[in-house]
Amino acid sequence: MTVRVVASLRAGASGFGVKHMALEDIRTAIRVVAAGDALLAPGVTRRLIEHFADRKPAQSQGRDIGCLTEREREVLTLIGVGRSNPEIAAAL
């Protein structure tokens, strides 16, 4: 299931539920996503946390950020300090 959740989120999904969700929980999820927020069913959240907690840090997986441009590093730095997209655009 975790692979499907990650693939769905990468494809642009704003939420992920499970088949056995109660009808009222499905209604709430639809309202949350329609309002522009994101929502994951609690069981999905737990599995995602377990999945990513078992991963080694990106650097030890052989990912090299040295291939990023200076501008990409600036953007990542601003993301890292919590800036929003409009704040990043204004800063750059």
Q: What integer pLDDT is reported at residue 64 of this predicted model?
A: 60
Confidence (pLDDT) at 52: 79
Judged against a pLDDT cut of 50, whether residue 80 lies above it is answered with yes
Rounded to two decimals, the pTM is 0.49
Alpha carbon separation from 89 to 37, 58, 69, 76 (Å, rounded): 22, 26, 17, 12
Nearest to 14 by CA among 31, 37, 41: 37
C-alpha of 82 from chain center: 14
What tens digit of pLDDT does each residue of 24-68 get? Answer: 888 988 898 899 888 888 888 888 888 878 765 544 444 566 677
The pLDDT mean for the chain works out to 81
- d(CA 92, CA 86) in angstroms, rounded, equals 10
Residue 29: the pLDDT is 87
CA–CA gap between residue 32 and residue 11 (Å, rounded): 19
